[in-house]
Amino acid sequence: MARLVVDPAFVVGAVDRRLFGSFVEHMGRCVYTGIYEPGHPTADADGFRQDVLELVRELGVTAVRYPGGNFVSNYHWEDGVGPKDQRPRRLDLAWRAIEPNQFGTDEFVAWSRKAGVEPIWAANFGTRGIREAVDLLEYCNLPAGTEPADRRVANGAEEPHGIKIWCLGNEMDGPWQIGHKTPEEYARLAEEAANAMRRVDPDLEFVACGSSNAQMPTFGEWERVVLERTYDLVDHISLHAYYEPHDGDQAGFLAAAEEMDRMIGSVIATADHVRALKRSDKEITLSFDEWNVWRQADFPGELGLEIREAGPLIEDTYTVDDAVVVGSLLITLLRHADRVKIACLAQLVNVIGPIRTEPGGRAWRQTIFHPFALTARYAGPTVLRTAIADGPEIDTAAFGRVPALWSTATYDDSTGELAIFVVNRSETEKIDLEIPVTGRLVRHLALYDDDRSAMNSADDPDRVQPRSVDGTEVVDGVCRATLPPASWHLIQLSS
Ligand code: AHR
């Protein structure tokens, strides 16, 4: 019998609600026929799909990063504002696509307001730089009285957009990035741009580009160089990571949270090393602004793509196991709530998205939608440390022997509600779990299936969905639950 021990005295940190962010890139069908489709039966006057907006609200997304991704590094934001019939069609170099520019800055902000999410802007630091970033910032955030701000007003947005979070570029360490830079080149640009942008709006939060993944040859060194230059100017350093099974190691894939956990630990260590060098009182926090399961092995690579407009791209269909992994990655982000302040599930619709649409047709929830929606909905304001005693272990090719149980908990001291999020990563063993508690059981919801490769589809959109677990009970101050193999759980208790 495994035991999970949790106590409201053992606080990790406050949950920043921006941990439940997502990402909309001009890529494939994320924007066009995803969130935006004039002429769709559910489209509103702005061309926004209401069926998708409803699912976005249900998902519980709090913040959305835009417009890329790799797309942004060759993006001219000016092309996407003003009368739609005068906007140019451009070649997007990142995804070798035709960008019609029918959805741009003002549409994104209007869509964000309708979705109830905070907009996060990623600026082009690939083919452009300080001047364009400042112009865009004036366009977005100044009331009126300068050419860019007046242009926004003339385009119909009288009130400033008030975008507070700015990513200083995207994946500038990656050789695939248009305008890829060395750490020194990027650090100088980020330093000068942040300095200039703060003069427009001193209240901004800046995210400096970290590494595109922990396997990059410059991982660790990139963060050190960038932060040594920008430490006093930026607030967050970014992390990106996508997970997929390697060499048939499904056990290692189910334990992908180990990799995310180690990456977060390494970036915190690097940021704190720079803090020590600088004898600074300031703490840099983390923006995990791209994360998800993505089977990149199936992706032909950018140069393998045929040039077309809004063609489907990386529309991974997710399984039960993928949802369990996504749930475990959310647990990992919560376990680091003291340092991870922003996180974006990449992406939101169609492109490796929790929401899938048909052009002109239906929209539905992928399997990964469910752990995200339930975590966003039930996570309380404070993360608590959980300890597992007498839990079994599993063998993985990727990480060796690791605990089968992966958990976190949140607490709301105004209601006394405790939410425990736990994953059984064993492919073969069910685990009987005991949790000493003071309160009563409110709900036990879980995601698992005898067919771990089951997926949702337009014709069977609810094939995989959370189920209420029978048999879980609290007796004499102990909650007892059985966790099937490869399963994700929310156990909510109230005092
Ligand atoms: O989300 C897909 C792509 O993955 C993004 O454009 C890029 O930033 C990352 O490499």
How high is the pLDDT of residue 250? 97
* Most informative mutation of 25, 73, 180 for ligand 1 (most atoms within 8 A of CB): 25
Phi and psi at residue 161, to the nearest 5° = -75, -25
pLDDT cut 90: percent of the chain above it:
98
Pairing of the two strands 467-468 and 440-447: antiparallel
End-to-end CA distance of the chain: 24
CA atoms of 245 and 224, how far apart (whole Å): 30
Task: Please check the confidence at residue 475 and state whether its pLDDT lies above 90.
Answer: yes
- The CA 46 to ligand 1 mean position distance, Å, reads 27
Q: pLDDT for 255-299, tens place per residue?
A: 999 999 999 999 999 999 999 999 999 999 999 999 999 999 889
Mean pLDDT of the chain: 97
CA atoms of 479 and 231, how far apart (whole Å): 46
Nearest CA to ligand 1 atom 7: 69
- The CA 18 to ligand 1 mean position distance, Å, reads 19
Active-site residue flag, 290 = yes
Give the number of the atom of ligand 1 that is nearest the alpha carbon of residue 70: 6
- The CA 69 to ligand 1 mean position distance, Å, reads 5
Q: Scanning the structure block, which residue is given the tokens 């609600």?
A: 17
For residue 303, name the pLDDT band (cuts at 50, 70, 90). Answer: confident
* Most informative mutation of 29, 65, 95, 170 for ligand 1 (most atoms within 8 A of CB): 170
How high is the pLDDT of residue 471? 95
* Most informative mutation of 23, 29, 70, 215 for ligand 1 (most atoms within 8 A of CB): 70
Active-site residue flag, 473 = no
Query: Which domains can be identified in the chain, with CATH numbers?
Result: 2-9+383-494 (2.60.40.1180), 16-380 (3.20.20.80)
pLDDT cut 70: percent of the chain above it:
100
- The CA 477 to ligand 1 mean position distance, Å, reads 47
Phi and psi at residue 115, to the nearest 5° = -80, -15
pTM of the model: 0.97
| Any ligand 1 atom below 6 A from CB of 70 | yes
Task: Report the alpha-carbon angle 333-336-341, nearest 5.
Answer: 75
- The CA 214 to ligand 1 mean position distance, Å, reads 15
Mean pLDDT of 463-482: 97
Task: Please check the confidence at residue 495 and state whether its pLDDT lies above 90.
Answer: no
| Any ligand 1 atom below 6 A from CB of 210 | no
CA atoms of 149 and 136, how far apart (whole Å): 9
